[in-house]
Amino acid sequence: MESEITRRYITQDLHEASVLYTSRKKLIELRGLSNDENFWFIFEDAKDCQRIINLFWQRELVMNIRDFCDSMRSLKDLVFNRRRENEKLKGDNKNERSITP
């Protein structure tokens, strides 16, 4: 039986994430630490994601470039918003305010 981790495709590469997002793979999580500039894009269906990424790197993947650009812009916005939230949380922690989920 496959573990939950092996069924997920994880990447830090914005281009790979954009290709997968454009290919309608489900983004299940954007993970990053509040003190880290790097974020991990986590997608469902690792096997199919790997197939798509292999085609991408082999320059054999065909997709609509406008959809790809829209996906990249959406993912950049998501990362930017997450960073802004993390910065806000850092500032709140410096002022010793408690943060409730």
With CA atoms as reference, report the closest residue to 18 among 83, 69, 60, 62. Answer: 69
The pTM of the full predicted model, rounded to 2 decimals, is 0.79
Name the strands in the sheet holding 40-44, side by side, starting at the edge strand that comes first in the sequence. Answer: 8-11, 40-44, 27-31
| Residues 7-65 pLDDT 10s | 999 999 999 999 999 999 999 999 986 556 788 999 999 999 999 999 999 999 999 99
